[in-house]
Every structure is written in structure tokens, then in C-alpha cells.
A and B are shown apart, each in its own frame.
Chain A
Amino acid sequence: SAVISQKPSRDICQRGTSLTIQCQVDSQVTMMFWYRQQPGQSLTLIATANQGSEATYESGFVIDKFPISRPNLTFSTLTVSNMSPEDSSIYLCSVEVGGGESYNEQFFGPGTRLTVL
């Protein structure tokens, strides 16, 4: 298993500013992911955070808007840039841990609840 912490747990920000969210894992993991959960919606994968290389973004998400860092195997950051009210969501970090079977289990952080005014 893996224990994941995120900072901040919540924030209220002004339009046009940026917020960086931190994700810390208690063990080294290869795969880390960032998700967005908009109000009343499901989780949508933003990107895969790759250690030592650029993140891999899903369709509809771009690096200029959501820059990601992954300096080592236990830590990653997601920045939400030039925020607008439409960015108000819960942002979740997750990691993949080998389950010893044909799939690898993902563990999720507690999330960062962002409100943009």
C-alpha cells in the first residue's frame, strides 16, 4: 500500500493567480498521476507525472495550464495556472503500486479542494 499526503488541503484563490499543489508519498513509486474532480462529476485524469522527464498529458489538458514537476520517486507538484472559476475542483494525486497480479492498484491522496473566485 501507499500513504499519500497533499498540501494544501483546500484553498480559495483569486482569478488570474496560480496555485501549486504538493503530493508526497511514503514510499518510492514509479507511476504518479494527477486527477481533477469537478463539482458533481467523476474523476478525470489530467496527466501522468514522469520522474526525470516531462509529464504525459491527457486530451484537453496542456502543460502551460497545468505544469507538473516530478523531481524524485516520492514527490510531485501540480500547478494550476492563471486560474478561472471553471478551475474550481478537487485535485487528487494518485500512485500505482504493484498488486502482485495482472493489475497494479492505485492509491489516492485526500485531495485539494480549490475554489476560484
Chain B
Amino acid sequence: NFILTQPHSVSGSPGETVTISCTRSSGSIASTYVHWYQQRPGNAPTTVIYADDQRPSGVPVRFSGSVGSSSNSAFLSISGLETGDEADYYCQSYDTTGRVFGGGTKLTVL
């Protein structure tokens, strides 16, 4: 199995761009898809990015995903920050032993 490591918290001001990283401990980040979820307090998570860089319908184009093989990391970028983006964000991937979530990153919009 492997671990996905995320920063505990990130912050930004309205209108700014923030990027959240998700680093895979072993095995290539590019070998399996990475997905990103947003979770607001009291609610179930929802997908904001799936399959590395795909946006589900209804998710603003301000949300984008990428994968960097050199850093063995995936990245979620949110541009034009809005107060409504304040939430916890989780990355998720998998291997033959199962599904794995990152520890989560709390995004604060200042």
C-alpha cells in the first residue's frame, strides 16, 4: 500500500490562486488516477476533479487538476478564490490493495 500526503492547511485571499499538493509515498503518481473531493462542514464530500484533471459537470473552471511525475505529486489549483471555496479538500487514488485518501487540507479564504 501507499500514503498520500497533503499539507494540513492552505490559505488565500479572495481572487487569488491556491494550489494543494498530494504526494504519493511509493509507486508512481501517474500509474493510477487521482481524484479530488471538497467537503464542507456537515456535508458529504463531492468530487471537484476526477481522473487527474477532469471536472464534473457543475464544477467551475476555476478548479483544475494536474499530475507531476518528477515530484510524484498531484495538484489541485483553485483560481479566483471565493469565500464559498473554504472547505476541506481530499485527494484519493488506489492500487491493487485498495483505495487511499490523503489526510485532507483545510482551505481558509482570508
Whether chain B is bound by chain A comes out as no
